[in-house]
Amino acid sequence: MVVEDDLTMVNLLKTLLKMEGFEVVALDADSDVVKAVRANCPDVLLMDVHLVQQSGLDILDSMRRSDHGCGARIVMISGSNLQEECMKHGADGFLLKPFMPDDLIQMLKGQA
């Protein structure tokens, strides 16, 4: 599952991930992410830290405080180096934009 507010980035991620054999669900950046994760139970949630109407860190906190994550691994992405902050909030991984496609695939497969 991808939550990103940059439509170009969403399209690139969907194309790349589908080529790698992933089933991809892209959410509107303003949607109720916690509700969508609960309904879809993705293996991995790839989420931008800075969304237009909401904070990826607030969503991450909400998912970690309750068991709404369905056991999904949560990988945060950002153009700012917020790795330490994301990990403190309970992220399973962090990628700094721009990242290489291979780094993303390894992270999603749990190899990074």
CATH number assigned to the domain comprising residue 58 = 3.40.50.2300
Q: Say which residue the tokens 């950002």 belong to.
A: 78
88-110: per-residue pLDDT in tens?
Answer: 999 999 999 999 999 999 998 87
Contact at 8 Å (CB) between 49 and 57? Answer: yes
CA distance 100 to 95: 9
Provide the pairing of β-strand 2-3 with 44-48. parallel
Structurally, how many domains does the chain consist of?
1
Contact at 8 Å (CB) between 51 and 30? Answer: yes
49-96: per-residue pLDDT in tens?
Answer: 999 889 999 999 988 887 665 788 999 999 999 999 999 999 999 999
Predicted TM-score (pTM) of the model is 0.92
Residue 112 binned pLDDT confidence (cut-offs 50, 70, 90): low
Give the structural domain span for 93.
Answer: 2-108
